[in-house]
């Protein structure tokens, strides 16, 4: 068979009822216009649209989507016009192709601006037809499958964009088969050492895990057969990127991840799901806090399932997922599983599932800064969700960290603007109270409320609420405060004797707005005009940014071109192993509250008369500083030329108070060549002892190794790095 015959044969195997004549016509059109074009791999360019179309077919998409997949690059990369496309294949196919086509003819100042505008266009097309995004995801998936033929810079750029934008979008649509493959390929390219190390670790105990899973499956089958229900049961492995994220961001070892492998039970009805759950919990002891009912409270992408983690007979935990066949189909293919079309119009019941898309389109209209647009998009896509209830029992889904303001504006704008407080589980709370899963929320309103203030933009966490607050402020002429605030700032700077054009540069203003937790320069001006932010604090911060640049410029002039190349790492007099960017001859000391070591992200704090205090960025004392103190932060970094230095750090150990414990602890430190600088112990209740050991450490990697070794000592219940 030739290439076309093989392609059409493959499509018929996937969907025997497909309109093969329409697809063949589209194939011949794509073949004709892409003739002579080659991919970077050297193969005919036509191979790419063929593979995109096959991915769409495997998702169960209709003929018009598959046709658009075949033709998605013709308008952008060939002489085939949109007008001709519409005449040949109809308006619906033309709309889909146009939605995927990049804005190649326009010129942008930066890659980020181009990316932002491409995504804006795609979102607009998605609002008319979600199949645009599904085609774009299929296009990105095949490009990643063949990404080895790109140069290193392109690989890094595409893979980062995939993890930041496209994989989360696939998750939002519930297309997990696509999401998992996108993430794993991107991880393999961005961090190959971590990827292959993870693959080898997983492989080591693969046979043991499979034996355990098969034993559990046999035991469950015996019990399920007694229920006399129809079911399927399988074991499944967690995909690599998900394991990688847990290990990296939750600081966990592979053996500490409970759902590395899971058992999936698929049944006919919801009633059977809960019956199976009852059987499972009578066979094994469930781990508290590890049960999730996504049937009663589905995820935003319509994912439904019961998840429970239990302790097996061998003492090892494992996860069990229980769902119906329909739920499983949606879990694999998401919105594509039920996206049915009649004359190109989606069923109304599916439209309700895309509220997040409509909200995205609402707030993106008001964001002119590409960086702001991209940052807000990433936050919205990656934000975890919190589920709360109205007093009537309706479930409301919000981004994690949301407040009553977010809840109020999600219900209705009229309720949001009149909000003066809320009751959570029957108790009064302020509007900046953080909501948690399961809270019952009732908004308290007042007809005498003056409405939103600029400070509400700091309190609201959702793009939906912030967008509506901004809209209300503009409607009520509160935007007059923007001009007023800008004028006030210019006058104040001039009174200080500085050139306002130098001090009020965009780079300083945007950085200052971010420091005050405001989204844009306009929000900062408005806040100044409305009295929400003290003018003196803003100017102090702006002057510090300006003076930092002036100091760096002086360093360059004094030390010549060679110093200019290396001024990012100006050394201080003493040997702390930390440099202050752009500043020399400063006293630097490490804070005792968090004891940072190389590998930690650090920040400097300008103290009053005691130089610069270096903290970990996650230090509680840093995170809890009031806004007026945050302007004293300064950028610092580890000096790579001093990698062999040692730093004291505290390790907390909870263990059984037994004879020989200190000897065992000391032996581990000695074996790892780690000096013990101090020990403090305090007996607790029930024969438990709390030990704080001060160790001389060279970096975070050494800390992780010694933590693992200490955890393996008999009687040790927990070991963790101390923060006062």
Q: What are the residue numbers of the active site?
A: 76-77
Alpha helices by DSSP H, listed for 383-438, are 404-411, 413-417
The pair of three-digit structure tokens given for residue 492, joined into one six-digit string? 């104040």
On whether the CB atoms of residues 597 and 698 are closer than 8 A, the answer is yes
Question: Cβ atoms within 10 A of the Cβ of 81, count?
Answer: 11
370-382 and 111-128 helices, crossing angle to 10°: 60
Q: Which long-range contacts (CB under 8 A, 24 or more apart) does 248-254 make?
A: 251/704, 253/708, 254/198, 254/201, 254/202
- The Cα–Cα gap between 516 and 537 comes to 10
- The Cα–Cα gap between 694 and 702 comes to 14
On whether the CB atoms of residues 268 and 322 are closer than 8 A, the answer is no
The pair of three-digit structure tokens given for residue 236, joined into one six-digit string? 């499944």
- Torsion, Cα 259 263 268 271, to 10 degrees, reads -60
For residue 419, what are the CA distances in angstroms to 65, 409, 442, 466, 622? 45, 9, 10, 14, 32
- The residue with tokens 């996937």 is 14
- The residue with tokens 């036509």 is 46
Q: Are strands 292-293 and 261-267 parallel, antiparallel or unpaired?
A: unpaired
End-to-end CA, the chain: 71
> Sheet holding 647-656: strands in order across?
675-683, 688-697, 647-656, 716-721
- The Cα–Cα gap between 23 and 31 comes to 12
Q: Are strands 588-590 and 612-616 parallel, antiparallel or unpaired?
A: parallel
Instruction: Please tell me whether residue 222 adopts helix, strand or coil conformation.
Output: helix
DSSP tag of 653: E
Length of the chain: 724
Residue 645 sits at φ, ψ, to 5 deg, of -75, 155
Q: Which long-range contacts (CB under 8 A, 24 or more apart) does 274-282 make?
A: 274/306, 275/227, 275/229, 276/224, 276/227, 276/229, 276/231, 276/322, 277/306, 277/308, 277/322, 279/220, 279/223, 279/224, 279/227, 280/220, 280/308, 280/310, 280/320, 280/322, 281/308, 281/310
What pairs with residue 308 in β-bridges? 320
For residue 707, what are the CA distances in angstroms to 598, 654, 715? 16, 12, 14
Phi and psi based region of residue 331 (left: phi greater than 0; alpha: psi -120 to 50; beta: remaining): alpha
- The residue with tokens 């034993």 is 215
Instruction: Please tell me whether residue 106 adopts helix, strand or coil conformation.
Output: coil
- Torsion, Cα 327 328 330 336, to 10 degrees, reads -150
Q: What is the 3-state secondary structure (H, E, C) of 113-152?
A: HHHHHHHHHHHHHHHHCCHHHHHHHHHHHHHHHCHHHCCH
- The Cα–Cα gap between 613 and 606 comes to 7
- The Cα–Cα gap between 355 and 341 comes to 19
The pair of three-digit structure tokens given for residue 85, joined into one six-digit string? 């496309």
The pair of three-digit structure tokens given for residue 331, joined into one six-digit string? 């879990």
- The residue with tokens 């600081």 is 251
């Amino acid at each position: 068979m030739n290439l076309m015959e093989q392609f059409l044969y493959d499509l018929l195997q996937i969907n025997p009822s497909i309109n093969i004549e329409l697809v063949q016509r589209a194939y011949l059109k794509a073949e004709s216009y892409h003739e002579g074009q080659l991919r970077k791999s050297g193969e005919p360019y036509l191979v790419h649209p063929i593979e995109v179309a096959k991915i769409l077919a495997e998702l169960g998409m209709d003929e018009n989507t598959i046709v658009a997949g075949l033709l998605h690059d013709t308008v952008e990369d060939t002489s085939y016009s949109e007008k001709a496309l519409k005449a040949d294949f109809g308006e619906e196919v033309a709309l889909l192709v146009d939605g995927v086509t990049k804005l190649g003819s326009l010129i942008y100042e930066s890659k980020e601006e181009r990316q932002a505008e491409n995504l804006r266009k795609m979102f607009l097309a998605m609002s008319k037809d979600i199949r645009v995004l599904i085609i774009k995801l299929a296009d990105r998936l095949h490009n990643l499958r063949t990404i080895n033929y790109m140069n290193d810079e392109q690989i890094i750029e595409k893979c980062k964009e995939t993890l930041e934008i496209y994989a989360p979008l696939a998750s939002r649509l519930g297309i997990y088969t696509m999401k998992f493959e996108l993430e794993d390929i991107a991880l393999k390219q961005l961090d190959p050492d971590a990827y292959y190390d993870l693959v080898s670790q997983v492989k080591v105990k693969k046979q043991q895990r499979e034996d355990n899973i098969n034993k559990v499956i046999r035991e469950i089958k015996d019990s399920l057969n007694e229920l006399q229900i129809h079911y399927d049961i399988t074991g499944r492995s967690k995909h690599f990127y998900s394991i990688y994220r847990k290990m990296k961001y939750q600081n966990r070892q592979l053996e500490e991840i409970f759902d590395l492998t899971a058992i999936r039970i698929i049944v006919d009805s919801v009633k059977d799901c809960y019956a199976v759950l009852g059987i499972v919990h009578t066979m094994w002891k469930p781990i508290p806090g590890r049960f999730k009912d996504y049937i009663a409270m589905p995820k935003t992408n319509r994912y439904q399932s019961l998840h429970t983690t239990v302790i097996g007979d061998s003492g090892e935990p494992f996860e069990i997922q229980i769902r119906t066949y329909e739920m499983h189909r949606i879990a694999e293919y998401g919105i594509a599983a039920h996206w049915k079309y009649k004359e190109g119009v989606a069923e109304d019941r599916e439209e309700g599932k895309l509220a997040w898309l409509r909200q995205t389109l609402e707030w993106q209209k008001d964001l002119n800064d590409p960086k702001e647009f991209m940052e807000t998009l990433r936050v919205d896509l990656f934000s975890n969700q919190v589920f709360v209830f109205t007093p009537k029992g309706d479930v409301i889904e919000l981004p994690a960290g949301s407040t009553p303001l977010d809840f109020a504006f999600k219900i209705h704008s009229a309720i949001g603007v009149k909000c003066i407080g809320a009751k959570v589980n029957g108790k009064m709370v302020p509007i900046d109270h953080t909501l948690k899963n399961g809270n019952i929320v009732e908004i308290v309103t007042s007809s005498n409320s003056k409405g939103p203030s600029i400070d509400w933009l700091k309190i609201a966490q959702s793009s939906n609420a912030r967008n509506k607050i901004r809209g209300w402020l503009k409607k009520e002429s509160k935007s007059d405060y923007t001009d007023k605030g800008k004028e006030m700032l210019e006058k104040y700077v001039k009174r200080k004797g500085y050139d306002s054009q130098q001090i009020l540069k965009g780079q300083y203003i945007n950085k200052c707005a971010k420091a005050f937790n405001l989204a844009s320069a306009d929000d900062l001006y408005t806040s100044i005009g409305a009295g929400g932010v003290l003018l003196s604090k803003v100017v102090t911060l702006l002057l510090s940014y300006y003076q930092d640049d002036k100091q760096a410029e002086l360093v360059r002039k004094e030390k010549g071109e060679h110093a200019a190349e290396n001024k990012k790492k100006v050394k201080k007099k003493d040997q702390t192993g930390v440099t202050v960017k752009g500043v020399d001859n400063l006293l630097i000391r490490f804070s005792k509250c968090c004891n940072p070591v190389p590998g930690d992200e650090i920040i400097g704090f300008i103290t009053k008369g005691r130089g610069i205090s270096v903290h970990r960025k996650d230090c509680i004392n840093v995170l809890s500083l009031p806004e007026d103190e945050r302007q004293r932060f300064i950028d610092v970094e580890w000096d790579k030329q001093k990698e062999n230095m040692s730093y004291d750090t505290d390790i907390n150990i909870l263990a059984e108070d037994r004879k020989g414990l200190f000897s065992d602890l000391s032996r581990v430190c000695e074996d790892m060549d780690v000096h013990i600088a101090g020990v403090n112990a305090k007996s607790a209740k029930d024969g438990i002892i709390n030990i704080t050991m001060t160790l001389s450490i060279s970096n975070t990697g050494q800390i992780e190794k010694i933590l693992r070794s200490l955890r393996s000592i008999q009687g040790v219940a927990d070991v963790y790095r101390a923060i006062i």
